[in-house]
Structure 1
Amino acid sequence: MKDSSLFHMILQCNDMGSSSLGHSEPLSEGYPKAVLTLQPAWSQIFPEETVTLSCEVEGGSAGWRFKQYRAGREEVLLNWVLFLSLAGRSVFLTCLVSFLYPELPKAVLTSSPQWGELYTGETVTLSCGVEGGFTGFQYLWYKSSQGGTVQIRGTTGARYTLSPVTQSHSGQYQCEAQRGDPPRSSQRSDPVTLTVSEGRPKPALTREPAGEIFDGDTVTLSCVVEGGSGGWRYLWYKDRQGAPVYQTDSSSGTGAGYTISAAALSHSGEYWCGAERGRNTSYSQYSDPIWVNVTGE
């Protein structure tokens, strides 16, 4: 992307009748300074947007005659030239702005959290931005489903929060950024797909080894919420649902696994797992139970 944020202010003077500004000497001390302003004060501009350049003389512009022209070079948007005939000399104060037009910027859409699959009652926030440091936008939001693509009305901010989600929120979402009068839009973002499932997921609990367990054996229980969703923290229970397992030197639950490193009779019992996630915590169902029966040698 070409740099579109360089603003040049050049103060020059020539003898009367000279046609060359490019190699003239700077104005001597005591001449006023030309000041250039840009409205809106955007750091970058893309094709067909409208901006206003204003060139004024410090201390007041009264008595100055202004001449405006459009430069012939393609990358230069506008030159403003201030002209004054003073004491037999032509004095040129030049405000030069060069804009190297970039491509139309593209909106970038992200979701937080990035869980892949959502369940009813959870919360997700979509965030829209623009590549390349462009500013001053409002945002348009779109949703695509089997019924086609529709604009989401009533929201123009850079964030769009769905809480609590329902199955009707499933679909593909896109955004684009818009600014100016008349408005100009960015390229539309790549889509983000939200899949919302009804109810709460049920984790699957497995045991290794699956056969008989003896004193001193190592036993590993594994819990997973299937379906491709992430962000889960796993909880472990023994003997009854809702009763967390007792962590000891020989047994501990870490993430999706619960390990008994030296099985003893006291480890015998029924085990369950569950999962939770999110700032506003949502919970899975309990898994089906698994029985651990430790026998002596």
Structure 2
Amino acid sequence: MGVPSVLPLPAAASGQVGCPPCHPWGHLLLLCTALLFLAPAAGTPGLPKAVVSLQPPWLQVFPEDNVTLSCQGAHSPGDNSTQWFHDGTAIPTQVQPSYSFRASSNHSGDYRCQTGQTSLSDPVHLDVTSAWLLLQTPRLLVPQGSPIVLRCHSWKNWRLYKIQFFQDGRPKWFSYTNASFSIPHANASHSGAYHCSGLLGQMQHTSQPVNITVPASIAKDTDTAAKAEVENTITYSLLLHPEAPEEDAAPSDYQNM
């Protein structure tokens, strides 16, 4: 008698047709269900992205500074919960649209959020740093024409004076008491590593540099190029003259340079 070309399946394995012996259909269904539950963490096609915002808006903070993260996005009817992720790991204890904490070194990293009617947000990176001085900014990638906003923040908000801001090591702006500095209309020439320095008591301190990028745009014609050059000249004029509107809050003291 010849050997049959197809052997009958054992009764106990009749539900495993087309599957490896070690993976019955029940296990595969559980695996598929688990993957479906994990899918929202990678974003849901067709839904708008949620947006994470910071209050105060600074990406760099000291330990013990207060930080509030807010998730902006629509919720499903009857479900107002929000999913929060820190460095890709879900934070199961946080389900509210706002997430507040007193910063510690463990809070450094990327934060994302998602609601019932949004896909996963882009990451917002928070740096928690221990130092005497910290250069703070709300964003590291600045579109052309948007402002660059900088703040020289002292440890525990101790009184800081004779404050200087630098771009790529070159002095950019000086004030006796004003710890904030802005460039109203950024262009590609404003990309670089920024840092600040100042006096705390009788001691001079310097922050670590922060890299800010303003992507270059290609001028379509000579009029566009000329306009960019005019904006560049106006921006530097504002920086060089303390009577410019952006410095009304605290005029510069250039005699101390």
TM-score, normalisation: structure 2: 0.30
TM-score, normalisation: structure 1: 0.26
Structure holding more helix per residue:
2
Structure holding more strand per residue:
1
